[in-house]
Amino acid sequence: MKTELIKIHERNFNTSPSLFFFSPGRVNLIGEHTDYSGGYVLPISISLGIYAAVSLREDKGIYVYSDDFRSLGVIQTKEPYRYNQSQGYMNYIEGILSVLKRDGYCIGKGLNISLLSTLPKSAGLSSSAALEVLILTLLNDLNDLKLSKKQIVTYAKEVENTYIGVSSGVMDQFIITFGQENQALLLDTETLDYNLIPFDFENYQLVLMNTNKARDLVDSAYNERFNSIEKAKQYFDKPLGKVSLPLYKANVHQFNDLLQKRVLHVVTENARTKAAYEALKVHDYDLLGRLMVESHRSLRDDFEVSCKELDYLVDKNLSYGAAGARMTGAGFGGTMVALYSNETLLNFDALKKAYKAKFDLELDIYIAQGAAGAKSIEGEF
């Protein structure tokens, strides 16, 4: 990976990079569509992510090349920073520069930045948050901005919400910043209190299956779900993420049929997420698996963010012996995660063929390992 990244940088900037950074993707074990209602999530940062090679410039320009978007070539960031759909990924970078400049931070060093990602695009593994946190981390390190990790999370989320226009919660940016290798992280998205818990990658595997179904969160029904949760908040004297099932039942008569289902998912999902954390504490991966399946059914039936491709993959993996399986990420496509013990993990060639025959889509499969949060890296990678 390092050799390829160096070649990319030298080819585009005619100089060798001197610094390297990595920002992981994430898979959410459980706790979906709860992070923007003050609820609980249980994500883990993974070894798939975005690498950056950096060389310093004599001027103050910032030039970026992404190998995922080769047709765009090398792009220079330019003020005034304004969202421009044709710029693609550069909007995230210019959004970060915009909020830092607004708050008086000086980006004094000119940089050449080359990006190389191992994350599949539009797969629900949070490539956008990985990019946001990556750029904030390298700008922080190279310009001695003295941003705390929580400030990095806050700025990354702001860019996603206000500059890009996606009404996401804080989970993605938080786990990508605070994640530790082979540790899941229980996050209270209201208080930002968190607890790390080991995940047993020696005996269990997380298998990620990308549906390759095209989607666009900005234009999808994601924002409708967000607005439904915002509407439900007025009926309670506490964040929706802290509403118990009895309290929900006491107020359910105030909701129309659709809102009943939306809120029921959030309430039950928060309970499942806390139970999953307790299951990991006692190494009960069978219980974790059952909770993942319950989560998927709630996302399918109550929150209605699954799709036929995700449902098919969940059912197939359970029939193959997975302890649990569920969609992960915002839904409407993207990725499914399955929990397997090493004893039951199998070859998925037949599933790839069956999926192709049924949906006329390729099925990309990844075995995820745990990784630490965004950081500068040295040595081989």
Structure token digits, residue 177: 């910043």
Give which of 1, 4, 14, 24 is closest to 369, Cα–Cα. 24
Residue 369 amino acid letter: Q
Q: How far apart are CA 381 and CA 263, in angstroms?
A: 44
Catalytic residue check, 172: yes
Which stretches does DSSP call E strand in 101-252? 110-117, 183-188, 194-198, 204-210
Lookup: tokens for 21: 């950074």
Q: Is the dihedral of CA 45, 110, 53, 114 positive or negative?
A: positive
Q: How far apart are CA 95 and CA 311, in angstroms?
A: 35
Active-site hit among 35, 59, 144, 172: 172
CA distance 47 to 37: 28
* 40, HSE (Cβ side, Cα atoms, 13 Å): 23
How far is the C-alpha of 381 from the C-alpha of 377, rounded, in Å? 8
292 close to 326: Cβ distance less than 8 angstroms: yes
Bridge pairing between strands 62-66 and 110-117: parallel
Q: How many helices (H) and strands (E) does the chain have?
A: 11, 12
Q: Given the DSSP bridges, would you call strands 204-210 and 335-341 parallel, antiparallel or unpaired?
A: antiparallel
- Do 156 and 136 meet the contact criterion of CB atoms below 8 Å apart? yes
Rounded Cα distance, 90 and 279, in Å: 41
Token pair belonging to 35: 């992070």
Residue positions annotated with a catalytic role: 172
